[in-house]
Amino acid sequence: MSAAARAWAHAGVLCAAVVAVDQAVKAIVEARLFLGEEVDVPGPLGLTLSHNTGVAFGLAGGAGVGLVLLTVAALAVIAYVFGRDPARPGMWAAAGLLAGGALGNLIDRLAAGEVTDYIDVGSWPAFNLADMAITAGVVAMVLIYLRDAEPGAERG
């Protein structure tokens, strides 16, 4: 198997894992909490069931079909960027996290017209595992490109 094929396979497995865990946790939260209910857990996090019609962290609420189309376009961009150099070290992880998070929230949006959020950190808007995967994927991709932009950086 080529390095590019391995990278695509790894990204696909990570994407599927993110979607599966995201959807499972959302189902558990939906089954056990009432809308707006707050649950204290040890540490800085809390649980609060909320529904979000916007993008990550509640931004651009109420955009509906526009957000579905934006998500599909973002997935196409992720596939394009990843497809340009899938064997770039770490790129499979960034692409898998981004795609998995985007698909996890897209499933919610298509099924219910809104995304289930449940992680509460003080005054920050509620978010979910898919949002965390998207954020981690963006950070990873930026770091990969910054690493490769350094003079003398080697790409494998």
Specify if 103 maps to a domain. Answer: yes
From residue 133, alpha-carbon distances to 3, 8, 88, 117, 139 in Å are: 24, 18, 20, 13, 10
How far is 81 from 141, CA to CA, in rounded Å? 10
Q: How confident is the model at residue 18 (pLDDT cuts 50, 70, 90)?
A: very high
pTM score, whole prediction: 0.86
Is residue 88 a part of any domain in this protein?
A: yes
- Token pair of 51 as six digits: 């529904």
Residue 14 within a domain? yes
155, part of any domain? no
Mean pLDDT of 108-132: 91
Tally of structural domains, the chain = 1
Percentage of the chain beyond pLDDT 70 is 88
Question: What is the average per-residue pLDDT within 112-117?
Answer: 91
- Give pLDDT tens digits for 65-76: 777 888 899 999
- Cross-strand partners of 48: 38
Residues that are catalytic: 117, 131
3-state secondary structure the chain: CCHHHHHHHHHHHHHHHHHHHHHHHHHHHHHHCCCCCEEECCCCCEEEEEEECCCHHHCCCCCCHHHHHHHHHHHHHHHHHHHHCCCCCCHHHHHHHHHHHHHHHHHHHHHHCCEEEEEEECCEEEECHHHHHHHHHHHHHHHHHHHHHCCCCCCC
In-domain check, residue 42: yes
34 located within any domain: yes
For residue 151, give Cα distances in angstroms to 85, 91, 111, 121, 147.
19, 19, 47, 39, 9
Q: Is residue 107 part of a domain?
A: yes
| pLDDT tens readout for residues 48-102 | 999 987 655 555 555 567 778 888 999 999 999 999 999 999 999 999 999 999 9
Residue 156 counted as domain residue: no
Domain range for residue 80? Answer: 3-149
